[in-house]
A and B are shown apart, each in its own frame.
Chain A
Amino acid sequence: QQQVKQSPQSLIVQKGGISIINCAYENTAFDYFPWYQQFPGKGPALLIAIRPDVSEKKEGRFTISFNKSAKQFSLHIMDSQPGDSATYFCAASKEGNFNKFYFGSGTKLNVKP
């Protein structure tokens, strides 16, 4: 059973637009939800993360929205830029689980100039 489901698989956005990527999780014990950005040939880089005690976290152009009751969280990229073109992964982990992350399947974002 896939613990974290991510959509869409790919996304095309015009420069300046808003990119939205969604994730849903199964295990209510999860309490840490990071987003990673990965460029071709590179390892994933931590972008932003949220805990379930808040519904939203913003860092620059990146915002995580969290809906605990629906077991969903999403990444919003405001004013998307061509340099944001990459693959984005959501993940989930639970306290005491020694950082065993469950990753989504990834979303390939292409921001058109």
Chain B
Amino acid sequence: DAGVTQSPTHLIKTRGQQVTLRCSPKSGHDTVSWYQQALGQGPQFIFQYYEEEERQRGNFPDRFSGHQFPNYSSELNVNALLLGDSALYLCASSSGVGYEQYFGPGTRLTVT
């Protein structure tokens, strides 16, 4: 049973560029949440998708957007990249409003 998978593993972008990160949830899960984890800090909630709609959003600007597909996989898009966007981006999946959330390995984004 595959857990949460994310791609790519690492990514290097230049300021002002746009990036798309991808996530496939754990089998049987239909809800995907995205978190940003800066170095040495705890994950910060970006937003959550359920039934292809954004259900919750954290304190992140509109440059951060997402999408969920009918197969429950999800994308995180970040426009106009800033140096401060450099972080580990984590995807977590869960079943509906169930509490247990399982994280993927993350995508390490470096903005130069």
Contacts and interface: CB of A to CB of B under 8 A. Distances in A.
Partners in one complex: yes
Interface of A: 6, 32, 34, 36, 41-46, 49, 89, 91, 93, 95-106
Interface residues of B, number: 28
* Those 9 A-B pairs whose CB atoms lie nearest each other, nearest first: A103-B42, A43-B103, A32-B99, A98-B56, A98-B55, A43-B105, A44-B103, A100-B56, A43-B106
Interface string B40-81: 111111001010000110100000000000000000000000
Contact of B31 (A96, A98, A106): A98
B45 A100 contact: yes
A98 B43 contact: no
B101 A99 contact: yes
Interface of B: 4, 31, 33, 35, 40-45, 48, 50, 55-56, 58, 90, 92, 94, 97-106
Contacts of B106: 42-43
Given A101-B43, A103-B43, A105-B42, A42 B97 contact: no
A106 B41 CA distance: 7
A96 B66 CA distance: 21
Contacts of B104: 43
A87 to B, nearest CB: 9
